[in-house]
Structure 1
Amino acid sequence: MDEGAYRGVTVSGPSSEPAITERATGRDEDAPPTGPARVRATALAVHRTAREIAERVGAGEAGVVARVGRRTVSHRASGRERCGTSGGTSGGTSGGESRRADGVAGGEEPVRRIRLETLVQIQVPTPGRPVPLLWQWAGADPVAALRSAAAQVAGEIRAASAAVPLEAEFTGAVVLAPEVAVHFVHETLGHSLEADNYRHYAARSGLELGTRVGTEALTVLDGPAEGLETSYRCDDEGTLATATPLVDAGTVAGVMTDAAEAARQGLPRTGNGRRSFGAGLVQPRMSALRVTAGATPSADLIRSVRRGLYCRGAWGGGSVEEMFVVRPAYAEWIEDGELTGVLVRRLDIKGRKTAALRELREVADDPVVFNPVTGCGKNGQELPVSVESPSMSFGRLTVVPMRGASAN
């Protein structure tokens, strides 16, 4: 994904008299065609919406900063191949404008479009120091996206004031809300089933093709999908992007490949050969990862837990070969199938990927899309990746107190 010009607006302070700053980078000929007035109006609306959410939960003194920008990005196939004109789904729809230099996706000429990026930072005042929260969205209509996430954001604001740090390690039942589950799936399955990682460690660590890894309710795919911002028509090698089954009814069913790994391992090319701007190396990378909705109402996941944690919000995660970590914003204790109102924060979910996946019990019916502005790093390259997942419940995960200084 090549990055071109950027026009952004930052709004801070009270809604009545907000401070507005603007920034523009890149060449004039690559500048997004929509003028700064529309970006400014969107930034003001996002800022006002975030302040309204904070005020509704009694955090009117919270500092809110909203940044909205429109970036010209282009997708370029690196080889001589040209992406096919049938099948697949065209790239994401952040703003709707796109320009093709040759009328055909792929090839040597880039396919350009406009990516709308929104970041909201909320500093919640606490007796010690302010606790920062971050909400982000890449794609069209960030105001509507923020409103749909209002309950999640409000919960994080409340927890910033009411939650106490987790004091001791807990191993037991855990329910992940969708915004946490997306990071769990990204780290445990997404990275492991990228073809180079599959060859290096995943196949021998319990994720070999044909292996049962979890409940039959788990089905995972990667590839073009409506609503996922990082969908594209063809990858950086000119291969048509396909909806690739990774896990089918709890069994490992596929691997995401680039041309080199497909040839090396005798696997089909799936259209996952990607590289970041300025990089020469194409790698097998996730694009638009999604978990199919299950049949269990999300409330039933909590009702089935005698004692455990319900994890909400997310700061992200990471993985090194067989090990993973996911950092929720906070969690609420569950007792006898009921939420207790007792909140904890500064916690990490850690463990071995395959062991955690085998503890998956239920997949709920409440999928949520996560289109982050910040990217996913691999071997020095950072690329945007979208993820969609419903809530998930696990019989046994390990949650540990977060050590050392951190944003949350």
Structure 2
Amino acid sequence: MNPRPEATACRAVTVRGPESQPRTAERAEGDHGEVPLATASWLLATALDVHRMAARLAAGQCAAGGSVEAVAKLVSRWISLSGDAVPLAGHIRLEALVEIRKPGVRRPLLLWQWSGPDPVEALAASLVRLERELHAVDRAVPLPEMFAGPVVLAPETAVHFVHETLGHTLEADNYRTYGAGCGLALGTKVSVPHLDVVDGPRAGLESSRPQDDEGHPCLSTPLVEAGVVGGVLTDAAEARRQRLPRTGNGRRALGAARALPRMSALHVARGTTPAAELIRSVCRGLYCRGAWGGGSVEEFFAVRPAYAEWIEDGERTGAYVYGFDLKGRKTSGLRALREVGDDMGVFNPVTGCGKDDQELPVSMCGPSFGFDRLHAVPIGRPRAAPQPADGGGALGGTAL
């Protein structure tokens, strides 16, 4: 049977420039006659509302010096939940992306991305945090040299760490080729006993689905239980090949010839340590926020935070750095995990997760992490690990 596409049509509006003179562009893909989408007039009006809030953020930054541009993009996308065997219902996925950047500067000061039912409400609820982040990133300087020591990850950065170290490694094809042999075999203790990770349907995570693209029910699959590897994400082919249970993780991108074992909705259980205590316990270290990307290649991982703040004697200093990757061996990073915070953040990104030239949406939620020691390596320095190949690399920005 021919593959059934996941995304069958979309309509997008992009707004850029100052609030007083916004410039709009519209784009459509796919056969809109067969699928429901948000109306063009509503999409344009909503995109203008999102841009208006973003432009005011940018104007506030402009008052501090320099010219700043706001760019807002809103997409209505029809997601077809149809597998090879069982046709399922579909739904409209709304995606919002906001960039605030200085003209001529390649790196955006701020990237906010979100998917869900009400982009205006979501952005309005995030404005105070985004203003703080814009202030921090604009004042950050490049990390001058490699740092190895205590690191605290905010929820959006911590779940990216889990996505790259555990999620990709425990996708069944990766597990077969290298995961089991690099220290993440089933039954292996890999981290602290208060680390619990599950992939599967969960309310609030936009990529939750009732069935995968092969028509199998999506199950709640424990990947790590009490710090011990407990599960592998499978499609039909890898389940047969490795004699593993099918978990409903056979997913394919639009136009792809075959399904692959892929993460969908990743959930990390909250811990018991107050998030503020993770910082108070650090003598000198980095508090990392946001996530501009990440990668997984065999036993190595990389996560790129949007920025970090120096911690001195248990206090945040107001000194910010950017332009670095957290990287190293997956097992070493997992064993360096000291505490799991009692907070929780949800991340429903617009940019997807890439693997074998297939990009798919993923969602994640989880708490802050505190590590005894991670390596922060300035971008452009000699790499301690090969370039990402087996997964990741497309995740970017923060929606928390």
2:54 maps to 1:50: yes
> Which residue of the partner structure matches residue 123 of structure 1?
101
> Which residue of the partner structure matches residue 77 of structure 2?
71
2:37 maps to 1:37: no
> Which residue of the partner structure matches residue 165 of structure 1?
142
d(CA) in 1 for partners of 2:247, 2:105:
48
TM-score norm. by structure 1 comes to: 0.87
CA-to-partner distance for each residue in 1:101-154, whole Å, 9 max, x for gaps? xxxxxx1x35322111111111146xx846413221122212232234335433
Q: Secondary structure at the match of 1:29?
A: coil
Q: Classify 1:362/1:54 alpha carbon distance in 2 versus 1 (closer, same or farther; 3 Å).
A: farther
> Which residue of the partner structure matches residue 26 of structure 1?
30
- Within the candidate set 266, 284, 297, 2:243 is matched to 266
* CA-CA distance at 1:68 after TM superposition: 0.4
CA-to-partner distance for each residue in 1:389-408, whole Å, 9 max, x for gaps? 2111100000011118xx99
Q: Classify 1:59/1:253 alpha carbon distance in 2 versus 1 (closer, same or farther; 3 Å).
A: farther
**49-58 or 221-230, which deviates more:** 49-58
d(CA) in 1 for partners of 2:48, 2:136:
26
CA-to-partner distance for each residue in 1:323-365, whole Å, 9 max, x for gaps? 0110011111101100011111111101000110001111112
The answer (yes or no) to whether the contact 1:59–1:124 under 8 Å persists in 2 is: no
TM-score norm. by structure 2 comes to: 0.89
Q: Classify 1:197/1:309 alpha carbon distance in 2 versus 1 (closer, same or farther; 3 Å).
A: same
d(CA) in 2 for partners of 1:245, 1:168:
38
The answer (yes or no) to whether the contact 1:54–1:154 under 8 Å persists in 2 is: no
The answer (yes or no) to whether the contact 1:7–1:31 under 8 Å persists in 2 is: no
2:371 maps to 1:367: no
d(CA) in 2 for partners of 1:31, 1:23:
16
- Within the candidate set 9, 15, 21, 2:13 is matched to 9
> Which residue of the partner structure matches residue 314 of structure 2?
337
**379-388 or 51-60, which deviates more:** 51-60
d(CA) in 1 for partners of 2:124, 2:97:
14
Query: What amino acid sits opposite 1:28 in the alignment?
Result: H
* CA-CA distance at 1:53 after TM superposition: 3.2
d(CA) in 2 for partners of 1:296, 1:330:
23
d(CA) in 1 for partners of 2:266, 2:51:
29
d(CA) in 2 for partners of 1:161, 1:182:
24
**Residue ranges of structure 1 left out of the alignment (5+ in a row):** 81-106
d(CA) in 2 for partners of 1:151, 1:207:
40
1:299-338 equivalence runs, <5 A: 299-338=276-315
* CA-CA distance at 1:232 after TM superposition: 0.5
Query: What amino acid sits opposite 2:11 in the alignment?
Result: R
The answer (yes or no) to whether the contact 2:6–2:79 under 8 Å persists in 1 is: yes
The answer (yes or no) to whether the contact 2:8–2:254 under 8 Å persists in 1 is: no
* CA-CA distance at 1:33 after TM superposition: 4.2
> Which residue of the partner structure matches residue 353 of structure 2?
376
> Which residue of the partner structure matches residue 89 of structure 2?
111
The answer (yes or no) to whether the contact 2:235–2:247 under 8 Å persists in 1 is: yes
2:161 maps to 1:184: yes
> Which residue of the partner structure matches residue 389 of structure 2?
none
**164-173 or 39-48, which deviates more:** 39-48
1:345-364 equivalence runs, <5 A: 345-364=322-341
The answer (yes or no) to whether the contact 2:11–2:37 under 8 Å persists in 1 is: no
The answer (yes or no) to whether the contact 2:137–2:320 under 8 Å persists in 1 is: no
The answer (yes or no) to whether the contact 2:284–2:311 under 8 Å persists in 1 is: yes
Query: What amino acid sits opposite 2:73 in the alignment?
Result: R
**Residue ranges of structure 2 left out of the alignment (5+ in a row):** 382-395
Q: Classify 1:263/1:130 alpha carbon distance in 2 versus 1 (closer, same or farther; 3 Å).
A: closer
